[in-house]
């Protein structure tokens, strides 16, 4: 299955999530930047609020590609104690790394959301959207961090993902909806006809448009 672009992928996902249409206890959280067009179409089709879940990986000193944890929107922090113990990381070292990433996370949240308040996932069904899974590290970190905010349910919604990443993510969420888990997976972009970079301004615009589409109660 190939997708014309992220918007088409979002519409196809929304067709599989119809049971949540108009659910007052459900929200859509999208991983910026590429997940926001996908999340926008899901939120628009299901008439649900849309917000971003910004995730920043906390890298091990000297090995930044290895995550010791992650932070996410709403003051969420997830720490992998196995990694911390394996590398004998002190609490002071972890705090220094987290502080640097928190500054960047806050900058991005201000950039994306402006003055709008973040959606509170506590007790709600969260549809967690991205444009695809390669390693799945960001999505898994997002799900692990989000779980700390005690949502009622986390549903990962993805157009495409590697079988290995989908299997790993399924252990972190309550439900996984993925349109395509091909055996011959190389990169997310290979499954899209158009896979242009999503700009910060695109994220801002889609969040504003999504808010304008919600019915006024």
At 216 the pLDDT is 65
Residue 209: other Cβ atoms inside 10 A: 13
CA distance 167 to 19: 24
pLDDT single digits (tens) 51-90: 999 988 888 888 876 778 888 877 778 888 888 999 999 9
Give me the domains of the chain, ranges plus CATH numbers: 6-53+114-212 (3.40.50.2020), 56-112 (3.30.1310)
Mean pLDDT of 127-143: 89
E strands, the chain, in order:
26-30, 50-52, 55-60, 63-72, 76-79, 125-129, 153-160, 175-180
Q: What is the pTM of this model?
A: 0.87
- The conformational region for residue 88 under phi > 0 = left, psi -120 to 50 = alpha, else beta, is left
- The conformational region for residue 24 under phi > 0 = left, psi -120 to 50 = alpha, else beta, is alpha
At 114 the pLDDT is 83
Cβ atoms 21, 46 nearer than 8 A: yes
Q: 111-115: long-range contacts (C-beta < 8 A, 24 or more apart)? A: 111/200, 111/204, 112/32, 112/52, 112/54, 112/200, 112/203, 112/204, 112/207, 113/51, 113/52, 113/207, 114/204
Mean pLDDT of 110-130: 92
Listed residue (134, 130, 183, 125) closest to 157, CA to CA: 130
Listed residue (209, 189, 217) closest to 41, CA to CA: 209
pLDDT single digits (tens) 169-198: 999 999 999 999 999 898 999 999 999 999
At 120 the pLDDT is 93
- The conformational region for residue 164 under phi > 0 = left, psi -120 to 50 = alpha, else beta, is alpha
Chain centroid to CA 215: how far?
24
The DSSP letter of residue 178 is: E
Extract the tokens encoding 168.
């790993």
Tokens 């006024």, residue? 216
At 217 the pLDDT is 55
At 78 the pLDDT is 80
pLDDT single digits (tens) 2-46: 999 999 999 999 999 999 999 999 999 999 999 999 999 999 999
pLDDT tier, 131 (very low <50, low <70, confident <90, very high otherwise): very high
The DSSP letter of residue 86 is: H
User: Is the Cα torsion angle 28, 123, 17, 192 positive or negative in sign?
Assistant: positive
């Amino acid at each position: 299955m190939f997708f014309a672009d992220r918007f088409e992928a979002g519409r196809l996902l929304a067709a599989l999530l119809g049971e949540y249409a108009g659910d007052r206890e459900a929200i859509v959280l999208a991983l910026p930047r590429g997940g926001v067009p996908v999340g926008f179409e899901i939120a628009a089709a299901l008439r649900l609020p849309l917000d971003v879940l910004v995730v920043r990986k906390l890298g091990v000193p000297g090995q930044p590609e290895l995550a010791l944890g992650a932070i996410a929107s709403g003051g969420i922090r997830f720490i992998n104690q196995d990694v911390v113990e394996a590398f004998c990381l002190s609490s002071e070292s972890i705090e220094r790394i987290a502080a640097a990433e928190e500054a960047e996370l806050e900058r991005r949240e201000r950039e994306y959301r402006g003055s709008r308040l973040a959606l509170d996932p506590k007790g709600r069904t969260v549809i967690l959207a991205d444009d695809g899974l390669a390693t799945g590290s960001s999505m898994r970190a997002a799900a692990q961090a989000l779980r700390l905010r005690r949502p009622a349910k986390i549903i990962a919604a993805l157009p495409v993902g590697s079988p290995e990443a989908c299997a790993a993510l399924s252990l972190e969420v309550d439900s996984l909806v993925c349109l395509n888990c091909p055996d011959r997976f190389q990169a997310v972009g290979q499954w899209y006809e158009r896979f242009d970079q999503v700009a910060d301004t695109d994220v801002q615009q889609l969040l504003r448009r999504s808010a304008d589409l919600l019915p006024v109660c």
